[in-house]
């Protein structure tokens, strides 16, 4: 087989609907646009949210208050059972978790949750711990460390 022999699967390609090609085509005369009106004209589209001149809902509803979701701290949840892949005595931090693909994506920090059992003695460094997770890590003989935040330089 050569590159010039490649063809799309049968049924994958079909001719496009040709509008305005005579009455007998089934798409003649008004070309599927009905009779007159704004939507039958060229360029006759109605913008998103337009309600026919009525005051649109996004202007009728009051906009009050403050939403803090843009400033929220989003932690990546990691269960204790996921940490059993590391050997005893390992210091588990964000770079190690990302290299093992346990943590992916953009997060403000990592929170270790107490779901599952920890069978290894690990030194875990994360931005937050649940009470259960901290207790289970220390019960297994490891340590749960919250790193100090880097302070902004004085101007």
Q: What is the pLDDT of residues 34-53, one digit of tens each?
A: 999 988 999 888 999 999 99
Gap between the Cα atoms of 119 and 133, Å rounded? 13
Domain-wise residue ranges, the chain? 74-145
The maximal CA–CA distance of the chain, rounded, in angstroms, is 83
CA atoms within 13 A on the CB side of 57: 2
Classify residue 19 by burial, with Cβ atoms within 10 Å: 0-12, 13-18, 19+. Answer: middle
The confidence score (pLDDT) of residue 69 equals 87
**Regions of the chain with pLDDT less than 50:** none
- What is the CATH architecture of 74-145? Ribosomal Protein L15; Chain: K; domain 2 (3.100)
Sign of CA dihedral 78, 83, 84, 85: positive
For 75, other C-beta atoms within 10 Å of its C-beta total 16
The confidence score (pLDDT) of residue 152 equals 53
The confidence score (pLDDT) of residue 151 equals 57
């Amino acid at each position: 087989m050569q590159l010039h022999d490649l063809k799309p699967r049968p049924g994958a390609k079909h001719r496009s609907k040709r509008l305005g090609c005579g009455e007998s085509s089934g798409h003649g005369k008004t070309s599927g646009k009905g009779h007159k009106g704004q939507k039958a004209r060229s360029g006759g589209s109605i913008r998103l949210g337009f309600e026919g001149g009525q005051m649109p809902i996004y202007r009728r509803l009051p906009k009050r208050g403050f939403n803090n979701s843009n400033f929220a701290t989003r932690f990546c949840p990691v269960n204790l059972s996921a940490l059993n892949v590391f050997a005893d005595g390992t210091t588990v931090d964000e770079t190690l978790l990302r290299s093992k693909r346990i943590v992916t994506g953009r997060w403000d920090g990592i929170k270790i949750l107490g779901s599952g059992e920890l069978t290894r003695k690990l030194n875990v460094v994360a931005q937050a711990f649940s009470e259960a997770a901290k207790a289970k890590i220390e019960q297994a003989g490891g340590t749960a460390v919250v790193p100090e935040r880097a302070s902004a330089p004085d101007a």
